Structure 1
Amino acid sequence: MEKLQERFVRVRKLLDITFFRVLFFLALGIILFLAMFNSVKPEKLDLSLFTVADMTIRSPGTVEDNQSTEKKRKEALDQVQDVYILKKEYTQNRVDLITSIFDSALEANAEMKEELKKEQLLNVDKLPSKTFEQDISNKITRLKAKLTDSVTKDLSDQVFSSLIQAKDDELSIAKDLTVTSINNVMTKRISAENVENAKKKVEEELKYTTLNKGLKSAAIELGRYAVIQNEFYDSSATEELRQQASKSVEPVKILQGQIIVEEGELINREIFRQLKLVGLLDNGNAFKPFLGLAFFIIIFLSSIYYYFYQMKTNVEKRQTYLLMFGIVFAVSILLIKIISMLQIVNFAGIGYLFPAAMGGMLIKILIDEKLAILFSIVMSVCGSILFNEGITGTLNYSEGIYILFSALAGILFLSSQNHRSKILQAGMFAASVNLVTILALLFLSNGHYSGLDYGYYLLSALVSGISSAVLTIGFLPFLESSFGILSSLRLIELSNPNHPLLRKILTEAPGTYHHSVMVANLAESACEAIGANGLLARVGCYYHDVGKTRRPNFFIENQLNQNNPHDRLLPEKSANIIIAHVADGVNILKKYHMPKEIIEIAEQHHGTTLLKYFFHKAQQRGADFKEEEFRYPGPKAQTKENAVVGIADSVEAAVRSLTQPTPDLIESLVKNIIEDRLEDGQLNECDLTLKELEIVSQTLCDTLKGIFHSRIEYPEIIKQKVGHA
């Protein structure tokens, strides 16, 4: 194990170099890509035109069928009818035209009559100078003068002759009949093809009137002349309808999972075209899924790299965490890959066997909860890709949701007090969440499952949760010992009173054991007040004075009703014995393979402080000595926890020496000890701030006041004292 740890240390040091760090992430990316390569590889089928399909083939994705869309759009355009509009004003215009012709005839007749009367008055004794034909001709000429050239050209002279020769009442009747007939016909739509039919309708209506033959012929000709086309093609309105019809056509899509060809069905040209369209026949777009997978991996690794980059911890610990994360990540991917290869058994729920909560719980215990959640998200996506056998598309969303919920259940259930029993409980909790998640997914799919199917699914969920806990407990000691990680679980195990070293302290130096427990209470509360690791401080206090077990009687807390051996020794000798307990403790802790954080607390809790009692005693003897001989070798406290343990150790020993501790005396003593350590430079190498020192001082005072509060004596005790007096 030590050789393995040394190898991990060498690899961790390589990660300090940017090139090897990039190489590390590249290796993770390659592992991911190779694991999911076959899962995203497009399925290619050896199919030929006009052959019979030996299996039912579904579309692997949703694809727009442009050819079918265009065909459907063309059909919609063909169904759009041309738009024709009715020009209603044409009816009134033609009615007005015919009316004006009849009115002009009446006017012409009236004028001719007036002129005839004048001529008769002037030429009473003379015979008429004009013949009948001349008179008619003059009337026609007069009538034509009142009309437009187009009308006179389009109508025959017979019409004008009939109108001129008709009486006024006959003209009025003819006008009304003609206008009525024209109005009846032209109020309806008359296309260019139906103009002649409309003219015939007018002719039919006027043919059966009581007009005389000449006037009837004239009315018919005028009626036919008046009827014209009143329905015309509207290009803009037609185009607008065509555009609306084109837009209303929804794109034709071949949906993911849609059956393209049934087993035993002939592959005709249309089916063959659809198979080619969805990419099941050619390799032209085979690179796209791999490119998408590469993008996924880049997103994953970038988020992980950024998380470690902004992690607020020292470089050594960051690289240790990174290497440990890579191992957990690789093991999880390997497990998913192995289980995904079992999909050949055609059991849809094989992916539910994956111990999804394992990786997340390991990372939470060893590193951080946020990173564990990020890890769970990545695993859920990878699982949805790897467990896509038997489904249409690349992503199995049910498996992804299952893995995510299972992992989050395990992570969130674990607390800071991560006992092994707590991990088992987290596994059971994850198993229960797995059961509920699977039932939710099954019910949402609204599928038909037998009781045996439900049994298989629920058994898989139970196995996943329990195996997650078992594997977490199994991997945890290996990772802790290989990387020298001091997890909360490991600290709790070290705090067990049955630990061999704690039993050694209790049996060989009971006073030191009691002192260590008191210091642990003080240090833990102070560390938690400033946001430091209170559990580490407590456990470190339990072992910080283990070196005193070498010579327990030389330390005052173990001298119960015994003479102090230092009274018979020189100050220099006594100082060496006292100082030696630090080195002795470090050696004992290393012998028991204790975590380096615990060893550092034992090594640094005195820093380079001065043994003032023996120093002043030596000064009184007047011997030739150096002050360094009465100082601890150090090093000084390097972390907040180590510094707080050192302060709590001195405070507990000082307060214990007081005969009548009062709150004011305790507060004064605590402040003096902290100020003395500051002035002596014992806190120069840790990152404790003055504000945090003030919080530590106040917390220690509050805790000590609670321990050394004054007690009320019971009456029986008072009577006993009086009786003894």
Structure 2
Amino acid sequence: MDFQKLIGKVRTILSYKLFTALIYIVLSMLMFAVLYTNVKPETYDVELFSVAEKTIRSPKTIEDEVKTEEERQKAADEVEKVYVHKQEIAQNRILLVNSIFDFVKEVNQETKDLEKENQKQEGKAPDKLALLKEKLSTDETENVTETISDQTLIRLLDAKEDELDKARNLLVSHIEAIMSDKIREEQVTAAQGTLAGRISSAGLSQEIEQAAIELGEYAIVPNELYDEDLTEERKRQAMEEVEPFKILQGQIIVQEGHLIDREIYRHLELLGLLKSTPTVLPFVGLAIFVFLSVGAFYVSFAKLNLADLQKQNLLLLTSIIFVASLLIMKIVSLMEEVDRFEIGYIFPAAMAPLLIRILVNERFALFMTVILAACGSIVFRDDISGTIDMEIAIYFLFSGLAANLFLSDKSERFNVLRAGVLVSSINILIISFLQFIGGGQFAKMEFFFHIVYGVASGILSSVLAIGVLPFLEAGFGILSTIKLIELSNPNHPLLKKILTEAPGTYHHSVMVANLAESACEAIGANGLLARVGAYYHDVGKTRRPHFFIENQMNMENPHDRLPPSRSKDIIIAHVTDGVAELKKHKMPREIVDIAGQHHGTTLLKFFYYKEKKLNEDVSESDFRYPGPKPRSMEAAVISIADSVEAAVRSMKNPTQEEIKKLVHQIAQDRLLDGQLSECDLTLKQLEIIKETFCKTLSGIFHSRIEYPGNKDQKVMLDGARN
């Protein structure tokens, strides 16, 4: 294939690692380029205080931190100061007033006693004011003498005891009454005036009245105090209750024809919609997405237990399918601009999963489904950049999953089309789910078109997969299940040629195919590949069909007239002739390999021993097939099955025990001869193969014409029978 030749030339120039790295780099660049316009934010060339030429909407939801802070500060400023009413203050002030009167009485009593002693001793009279101030200043928390004037203290000291008691009772009762109400700092003066008015009307002497008023004004203090901590806590709560001010996605920032004021300009700047303030964050986000996606590709292929060349081929194949799907997705998204309805539903989301499932495996098909769904959420996002469309992502995801589930293992082309029809039904259900879950708020015509798109998506997926599949198989030399089923069709030209020109060989090949398929399925190998490979493994016999005993019907064996060396050349040639014939018909490499390896380097024992009777110096290597030995499990199984089928048909009425013994003998001969040394068969698998052969052969007994000569040599594999 031209494509294979091109890839081969690139590989000869670049090393494996460099070529693989180049694939990942190109994949990343293409993915970034396709999604670039879907994340590129639209910017506007506008000036402050200019008129908007078009209506501008917000491309995303974003918090306006400046506006939020303003609203929070406004809420904090609206919180009133918190005052706490402390009832104990009134009691403390009353106790203070009572204490002053008690001290006055105490000083008066002490001075009287001292005056009596001084008269007897003719000493100096004591200073009552000094004694009183000394007693009043003993309170460390509040020094009364600094606030109450000396004149008031003297008036209290000079007052009569009954006037002093009257003033005390009057003052205490009025202080208690006034301070039972809440008094703030700014209300103290009014409360003091109220107290002064009540005392003035109480009928006290002028001197004691003035002293009582001053003492009462001193006692009246605020009992409802400002609590700064509680006020700050209330402000903090008020600020926390303010919801962040957000510019919502799709919200109109400015209407067409309106003036762009400072607030609008600030919003445009905040959203990165000004050409003067571009943002790179969307591209950074896209780069992260591409890195994760391509990284998932790398990890998935790194874990594959395949040869490097096979992994590279699958990576290239998967990348091409992925990029092609992405490009189709992009083309469909561009059609949305001219379509009234969401045409994204018509995208063949199941095409890539179907192709990957057929050409690679189910796990990679699921992986492709997830990546394409993620890409679809970006490509088919709303008309607002920087957003993703989760509805379309869910639609693509379930469409791809349905393709994986409904495509049967025997992937005939009809089954691919059937899977597409079933995907269409799933698409209808998913579209209905997406529409109905919103409460049924949709137009009937819109719903109808969406259903049509969903059906078309499933059918298109299968049709495109069927149409593209042959090109991918040919371009990458991949032997898919569909291709194998096509090759197993009896109407294939090569099979018809075998049937018409070498009918005995055709029957033999069918028997070998039955044995090989059952054995391969038992050991976990590709049973279908074994069956098809067995159909074609002896196609080289069509060149000289009558030189092979299964095609000799009522005729003389031509080998009886030929020297063993000539017979050997004819028998060995059927391998090279078969390989040439298969290549001529451009058959898959796996089928060609089976035809070229099914005899390995085994010995043509019948002709070797025949030649040895004529020439003792004959070399054993001259009577061996040129090889190569079987290199795949399928080729190895066919190699053993080929000999087993020929040997069993040479036996007359064999018993199950004889069949078992013969199968074991042939398998052991292959093992000891080193014919299985280049394939991955284990001894345990070899035992399973022998058991499976015995079960299958139990109902297949066909007489076979025997060669003349030693009977032991007849049951062994020889070229004349194969």
Q: Which TM class, normalised by the smaller chain length?
A: 0.7 to 0.9
Q: Which residue of 2 aligns with 1:331?
A: 324
Structure 1 portions without partners, runs of 5+: 123-128, 710-725
C-alpha separation in 2, matches of 1:117 and 1:15: 129
CA shift for structure 1 position 587: 2.6
| Bigger mean CA deviation after superposition, 101-110 or 428-437 | 101-110
C-alpha separation in 2, matches of 1:307 and 1:108: 102
Query: Could you list the per-position Cα deviations for residues 545-576 of structure 1 after superposition, in whole angstroms to 9, with x for gaps in the alignment?
Result: 22223333333333455554434443333333
When residues 164 and 285 of structure 1 are mapped into structure 2, their CA distance, relative to the original with a 3 A threshold, is same
Q: Which residue of 1 aligns with 2:666?
A: 673
Q: Which residue of 2 aligns with 1:362?
A: 355
C-alpha separation in 2, matches of 1:508 and 1:293: 63
Q: Is residue 601 of structure 2 the alignment partner of residue 602 of structure 1?
A: no
Residue correspondence of structure 1 range 422-433 to structure 2 within 5 A: 422-433=415-426
Q: Is residue 575 of structure 2 the alignment partner of residue 578 of structure 1?
A: no
Query: Could you list the per-position Cα deviations for residues 399-430 of structure 1 after superposition, in whole angstroms to 9, with x for gaps in the alignment?
Result: 33322322232233223211000110111122
When residues 88 and 544 of structure 1 are mapped into structure 2, their CA distance, relative to the original with a 3 A threshold, is same
Aligned AA for 1:62? T
Structure 2 portions without partners, runs of 5+: 703-722
Q: Which residue of 1 aligns with 2:541?
A: 548
Q: Which residue of 1 aligns with 2:657?
A: 664
1:319 to 312, 319, 322: 312
Q: Is residue 590 of structure 2 the alignment partner of residue 591 of structure 1?
A: no
Aligned AA for 2:56? I
Q: Which residue of 1 aligns with 2:431?
A: 438
Q: Which residue of 2 aligns with 1:655?
A: 648
Q: Is residue 679 of structure 2 the alignment partner of residue 686 of structure 1?
A: yes
When residues 494 and 228 of structure 1 are mapped into structure 2, their CA distance, relative to the original with a 3 A threshold, is same
Contact 1:357-1:465 within 8 A present in 2 as well = yes
Contact 2:108-2:157 within 8 A present in 1 as well = no
Residue correspondence of structure 1 range 137-152 to structure 2 within 5 A: 147-148=136-137, 151=144
Q: Is residue 69 of structure 2 the alignment partner of residue 70 of structure 1?
A: yes
| Bigger mean CA deviation after superposition, 541-550 or 397-406 | 397-406
C-alpha separation in 1, matches of 2:319 and 2:44: 38
Contact 2:20-2:312 within 8 A present in 1 as well = no
Q: Which residue of 1 aligns with 2:36?
A: 37
Query: Could you list the per-position Cα deviations for residues 451-505 of structure 1 after superposition, in whole angstroms to 9, with x for gaps in the alignment?
Result: 2212211111112111111111111111212222211110011111222222232
Aligned AA for 1:32? M
Q: SS of 2:455's equivalent?
A: helix
Aligned AA for 2:175? I
When residues 65 and 560 of structure 1 are mapped into structure 2, their CA distance, relative to the original with a 3 A threshold, is same
C-alpha separation in 2, matches of 1:588 and 1:284: 69
Contact 1:12-1:319 within 8 A present in 2 as well = no
Q: Which residue of 2 aligns with 1:519?
A: 512
Q: SS of 1:260's equivalent?
A: strand
C-alpha separation in 2, matches of 1:550 and 1:140: 148
Contact 1:337-1:386 within 8 A present in 2 as well = yes
Contact 1:5-1:483 within 8 A present in 2 as well = yes
CA shift for structure 1 position 23: 2.7
Q: SS of 1:332's equivalent?
A: helix
CA shift for structure 1 position 542: 1.0
Query: Could you list the per-position Cα deviations for residues 68-107 of structure 1 after superposition, in whole angstroms to 9, with x for gaps in the alignment?
Result: 1221122122123334444544323321222123334555
1:166 to 146, 156, 160: 160
Q: SS of 2:350's equivalent?
A: helix
Q: Which residue of 1 aligns with 2:215?
A: 222
Aligned AA for 1:299? L
Residue correspondence of structure 1 range 394-405 to structure 2 within 5 A: 394-405=387-398
C-alpha separation in 2, matches of 1:504 and 1:680: 34
Contact 1:547-1:582 within 8 A present in 2 as well = yes
Q: Which residue of 1 aligns with 2:627?
A: 634
When residues 616 and 693 of structure 1 are mapped into structure 2, their CA distance, relative to the original with a 3 A threshold, is same
When residues 161 and 452 of structure 1 are mapped into structure 2, their CA distance, relative to the original with a 3 A threshold, is closer
When residues 186 and 645 of structure 1 are mapped into structure 2, their CA distance, relative to the original with a 3 A threshold, is same
Q: Which residue of 2 aligns with 1:718?
A: none
Aligned AA for 2:355? L
Q: Is residue 392 of structure 2 the alignment partner of residue 393 of structure 1?
A: no
When residues 105 and 40 of structure 1 are mapped into structure 2, their CA distance, relative to the original with a 3 A threshold, is closer
When residues 481 and 209 of structure 1 are mapped into structure 2, their CA distance, relative to the original with a 3 A threshold, is same
C-alpha separation in 2, matches of 1:138 and 1:540: 135
CA shift for structure 1 position 691: 2.9
Contact 2:40-2:385 within 8 A present in 1 as well = no
1:611 to 604, 609, 613: 604
CA shift for structure 1 position 365: 1.2
Aligned AA for 1:456? F
CA shift for structure 1 position 645: 0.8
When residues 12 and 92 of structure 1 are mapped into structure 2, their CA distance, relative to the original with a 3 A threshold, is same
2:494 to 462, 485, 501: 501
Aligned AA for 1:94? R
| Bigger mean CA deviation after superposition, 469-478 or 222-231 | 222-231
Aligned AA for 2:217? R
When residues 112 and 591 of structure 1 are mapped into structure 2, their CA distance, relative to the original with a 3 A threshold, is closer
Contact 2:42-2:385 within 8 A present in 1 as well = no
When residues 663 and 177 of structure 1 are mapped into structure 2, their CA distance, relative to the original with a 3 A threshold, is farther
When residues 290 and 119 of structure 1 are mapped into structure 2, their CA distance, relative to the original with a 3 A threshold, is closer
C-alpha separation in 2, matches of 1:71 and 1:430: 54
Q: Which residue of 2 aligns with 1:181?
A: 174
When residues 530 and 19 of structure 1 are mapped into structure 2, their CA distance, relative to the original with a 3 A threshold, is same
Aligned AA for 1:638? R
Aligned AA for 2:43? K
CA shift for structure 1 position 681: 1.3
TM-score (norm 2): 0.87
Residue correspondence of structure 1 range 476-487 to structure 2 within 5 A: 476-487=469-480
CA shift for structure 1 position 244: 3.8
Q: Is residue 481 of structure 2 the alignment partner of residue 488 of structure 1?
A: yes
CA shift for structure 1 position 601: 0.8
C-alpha separation in 1, matches of 2:13 and 2:291: 22
Number of residue pairs the alignment of both structures matches? 695
When residues 625 and 451 of structure 1 are mapped into structure 2, their CA distance, relative to the original with a 3 A threshold, is same
Residue correspondence of structure 1 range 88-167 to structure 2 within 5 A: 88-107=87-106, 147-148=136-137, 151=144, 154-155=148-149, 157=151, 160-161=154-155, 165-167=159-161
Contact 1:159-1:217 within 8 A present in 2 as well = no
Q: Which residue of 1 aligns with 2:375?
A: 382
Q: SS of 1:356's equivalent?
A: coil
C-alpha separation in 1, matches of 2:633 and 2:622: 27
CA shift for structure 1 position 273: 1.7
Contact 1:8-1:483 within 8 A present in 2 as well = no
2:343 to 343, 350, 353: 350
Superposition RMSD in Å:
3.3
Q: Is residue 440 of structure 2 the alignment partner of residue 450 of structure 1?
A: no
Contact 1:143-1:160 within 8 A present in 2 as well = no
Contact 1:166-1:215 within 8 A present in 2 as well = no
When residues 246 and 558 of structure 1 are mapped into structure 2, their CA distance, relative to the original with a 3 A threshold, is same
C-alpha separation in 1, matches of 2:133 and 2:3: 125
Contact 1:55-1:264 within 8 A present in 2 as well = yes
Q: Which residue of 2 aligns with 1:290?
A: 283
Contact 1:257-1:392 within 8 A present in 2 as well = no
CA shift for structure 1 position 695: 2.8
Aligned AA for 1:659? K
C-alpha separation in 2, matches of 1:142 and 1:476: 118
Q: SS of 2:629's equivalent?
A: coil
Paired-residue identity, % = 50
Q: Which residue of 2 aligns with 1:60?
A: 59
Query: Could you list the per-position Cα deviations for residues 215-245 of structure 1 after superposition, in whole angstroms to 9, with x for gaps in the alignment?
Result: 5554434322322344444444444444444
